Chains A and B, each alone.
Chain A
Amino acid sequence: EVQLVESGGVVVQPGGSLRLSCAASGFTFDDYAMHWVRQAPGKGLEWVSLISWDGGSTYYADSVKGRFTISRDNSKNSLYLQMNSLRAEDTALYYCAKDMGDSSGYYFDYWGQGTLVTVSS
């Protein structure tokens, strides 16, 4: 059974930093690209970042580019999101999501339950 378990979400002050983690199991982690997707309270889904299976390619939404860094450790079956210079508008539930890995582009067949990041003074 595929499982994605996020952790690291807390309340942080504007300008602060945070590292989210996602522990993956139930599939061959290093075969798949992985994503972070967020959802502000009461709002829709926003894709945040993507990392290729080997970590060699990374992509970001414009809203987080230059502030967030996605990484992975395939030896630990883990995905990370380093979040710097946090803003109030970064407040959201952050989901780790597995890429489907087929020829139909980037989309998500499994999601974690999310970890809540609140940016507030």
Chain B
Amino acid sequence: DIQMTQSPSSLSASVGDRVTITCRASQSISSYLNWYQQKPGKAPKLLIYAASSLQSGVPSRFSGSGSGTDFTLTISSLQPEDFATYYCQQSYSTLPITFGQGTRLEIK
């Protein structure tokens, strides 16, 4: 199985900050990497697919980059509604589909 490791596990930041979350795969997954946002009591929401493509309707302050084993999700200027938990997920050809353990983004 492909293991996905996110860092940090939790993060405190302020409105307006630039934030970066990292996801590392245990083997190369090319650009088959997706990012989700989950708010408490809600279903996950797709933010970024194929490492850097912004899902329709997602604000442009969210961006993704990386390929191979190392990926990043960046929020350019944190808004109050961005405080949530973020998950990466690999969609490389090998099943099972696997997620990172999550990064909880909290208000400082």
- Which segment of B61-69, B71-79, B94-102 sits at the interface? B94-102
What are 12 A-to-B residue pairs whose CB atoms are below 8 Å? A45-B102, A47-B98, A50-B95, A50-B97, A95-B43, A107-B89, A108-B34, A108-B46, A109-B46, A109-B49, A111-B43, A113-B42
Partner of A104, one of B32, B45, B101: B32
**Chain B contact residues, majority secondary structure:** loop
Minimum Cβ distance to chain B for residue A105 (Å): 3
Is A26 on the interface with B (CB-CB < 8 A)?
A: no
CB atoms of A107 and B49 under 8 A apart: yes
Minimum Cβ distance to chain A for residue B54 (Å): 13
CB atoms of B44 and A59 under 8 A apart: no
CB atoms of A114 and B43 under 8 A apart: yes
Is A62 on the interface with B (CB-CB < 8 A)?
A: yes
Minimum Cβ distance to chain B for residue A112 (Å): 7
Interface residues on A, range: 20 to 34
Report the separation of the CA atoms of residues A114 and B102 in the bound assembly, to the nearest whole angstrom.
19
Report A86-121 CB contacts with B as 1/0, cut-off 8 Å: 000000000100001000111111011110000000
Considering the complex, give the chain B residue whose CB is closest to the CB of A62.
B96
Is A41 on the interface with B (CB-CB < 8 A)?
A: no
CB atoms of A107 and B87 under 8 A apart: no
Is A56 on the interface with B (CB-CB < 8 A)?
A: no
Residues of the B chain whose Cβ atoms lie less than 8 Å from the Cβ of A114 = 43
Residues of the A chain whose Cβ atoms lie less than 8 Å from the Cβ of B32 = 104-105
Q: Which residues of A contact B (CB under 8 A)?
A: 35, 44-47, 50, 59, 61-62, 95, 100, 104-109, 111-114
**Residues of chain B in range 33-90 having any CB-CB distance to chain A below 8 Å:** 34, 36, 38, 42-46, 49-50, 53, 55, 87, 89-90
Partner of A47, one of B31, B46, B99, B101: B99
Given the known interface contacts A44-B101, A44-B102, A112-B43, the answer about A100 and B95 at a Cβ–Cβ threshold of 8 Å is: no
Report the separation of the CA atoms of residues A109 and B45 in the bound assembly, to the nearest whole angstrom.
7
Residues of the B chain whose Cβ atoms lie less than 8 Å from the Cβ of A47 = 96-99
Residues of the B chain whose Cβ atoms lie less than 8 Å from the Cβ of A46 = 99
